[in-house]
Structure 1
Amino acid sequence: MKKEAIKSTYKSNDTEEWLDRVWTRPIGYLWALFFKRLHVHPNVVTVLSMLIGASSAFFFAHGSYRTEGTEGLWYNLIAVVLLAWANFYDSTDGQLARMTGQKTRLGRILDGAASEVWFIPIYLSLVYRFYCHHELEFSWLGIADTPVNAGIATLVLLGIVLYSGFVCHSRQCGLADYYRQIHLFFLKGVSGSELDNSVQQQKLYDATPWKGNVLWKLFLKTYVNYTRTQEAQTPAFQRLMKGLKAKYKGVEDIPSSFRGKFRALSLPLMKWTNILTFNTRALVLYATCLLDFPWLYFCFEIVVMGALCRYMRHCHEKFCQQLFLKL
């Protein structure tokens, strides 16, 4: 397997994480070759990724060795394998699309939704897991292990999990993905990125009739909201883009010198976008579940990942404002 052949399926060297280069992409490439031979469309691979990732929730719902012994450990190991497998397919779909030229707007929307489809059932399964196995935490806090107390504690955890998932996880991953696409736009231009905006997506949504397109309309509406959330978090970048469009006839006319300057400022942040997407998040999830303290994962997501996301956003907005003032 030639390294150059695998590299040809990257989005770019700038946006690739070390673990992806040595592990995820090579395996994803082999799967891409397999699906290519079978003439499987990349969107089908994305759907398979969603199904496999979501199925891991059943196995994560079980306690691990500390609370369920060897059987629980095996359940959790199966969960880890399934989620890792789903991530391989999440890499495969993009690699297959670049390999075959089968890029579609639906594929972009599905790819962005994949992690949500994985993590929503996983997060809810971990709430159920806490309800079943909370004895040690209650003993630490001196709480009597009664059905009422267990119900109250589980509801509190559910509130934390909903905040962690829909506020922290969703926005962290969405912003990291947006910064990657911005970087690719200045590196490769419109054709080399998937930098969408809410105005474009709203027009497409409005122009699509409901008749015969109900599912597609729902996908588009979700994507409109997704892009609006990204734009709301990046006011300095939005000003910069408006300034560039006003100064130059079109975004493709932005001079290479400016693109190079933007890339140099954006490149150091790519490591944070990688941390905020899957690998680091998954490794912490695996560790906390195998140790039988899955609630620690949500503390990590809210506190640590939240701080990294705020830092990344601060740095990006700061240099975008500086570039805007120099236009």
Structure 2
Amino acid sequence: MTSSNGPSAAARVRSGSAGPPAEPLVGDRNELPDRIWTVPNALSVLRLLGVPLFLWLLLGPQADGWAVVVLMVAGLSDWADGKLARVLGQSSRLGALLDPAADRLYIVATLIAFVLRDVVPFWVVAVLVGRELVLGAMLLVLARYGYPPLQVHYLGKAATFNLLYAFPLLLLADGEGPVVAVVQPVAYAFTIWGGSLYVLAGVLYVVQVLGLVRAERAGVPAAGAAP
């Protein structure tokens, strides 16, 4: 839907002139080259392929040590693909989509495994997975009005960072031995910080989507920058 008073809100989002104030952007996805065969994209695909392996290790043989190794390798590749994209000049739209998708899949997969193994309470998983369902609905709303997915901001990245540190620590805290007493409070701290930031980032995303939709319906430019 477009406005007769000027470019559509979707177009203003693409140019970076619409939307409510938000956290700083991690690049502008719509200005990136449309590449597929790049080294960073290959790393992102490998990270995605590690999700079912990670889930099987947690639920099948319950090989927590190997599951932590897979998670650590995934975290390292997450850092490496962004670094290589900048160093090699191989940033791409596909890479900008694969990166957060892999992060979310690891988070959701871990939460499912944790609730099945009673590592964390069900309500924690319900809140975090519910956040993903709400954001999925927001993507449908954006598509309805012709918007691209909103950009990843630093609050969401910080939340993911905390959660990916919390998960292996929670596995260690679920075991036995003297190390549990030391690891447990650290694991809970990362879980609380990461979970709170994760939900807050989701709330901000919803606020931004609703602001853009209101601007589109009103047919007037919205102040601020894209999220």
Question: If the length of structure 2 is used for normalisation, what is the TM-score?
Answer: 0.51
What secondary structure does 1:300 align onto? helix
Distance 1:106 1:85, change over 3 A: same
Length, aligned pairs only: 159
What secondary structure does 1:202 align onto? coil
Distance 1:284 1:47, change over 3 A: same
RMSD, matched Cα:
4.7
Counterpart in 2 of 1:55? 53
**Alignment counterpart, residue 131 of structure 2, candidates 148, 164, 167:** 167
Matches within 5 A, 1:1-327: 41-61=39-59, 75-130=63-118, 157=122, 160-167=124-131, 202=146, 224=148, 226-227=149-150, 275-278=158-161, 280-292=162-174, 300=192, 304-305=196-197
| CA displacement at 1:115 relative to structure 2 | 0.8
CA distance in 2, matches of 1:118, 1:303: 14
Per-residue displacement from partner, 1:33-66 (whole Å, max 9, x unpaired)? xxxxxx963211110011124421222337xxxx
Higher relative contact order (Cα pairs below 8 Å, separated by 6+ residues)? 2
- Between structure 1 and structure 2, the one with the greater Rg is 1
Distance 1:129 1:291, change over 3 A: same
Distance 1:91 1:170, change over 3 A: farther
CA distance in 2, matches of 1:107, 1:77: 29
> What is the percent sequence identity of the aligned residues?
22
| Amino acid across the alignment from 2:197 | M
Residue segments in structure 1 that go unaligned for 5+ positions in a row? 1-13, 16-38, 63-70, 135-155, 172-197, 204-223, 232-268, 314-323
| CA displacement at 1:113 relative to structure 2 | 0.9
Higher helix share: 1
Distance 1:311 1:129, change over 3 A: closer
Following TM superposition, the consecutive aligned residue runs of length 4 or more in structure 1 with deviations greater than 3 angstroms are: 168-171, 272-275, 293-299, 301-313
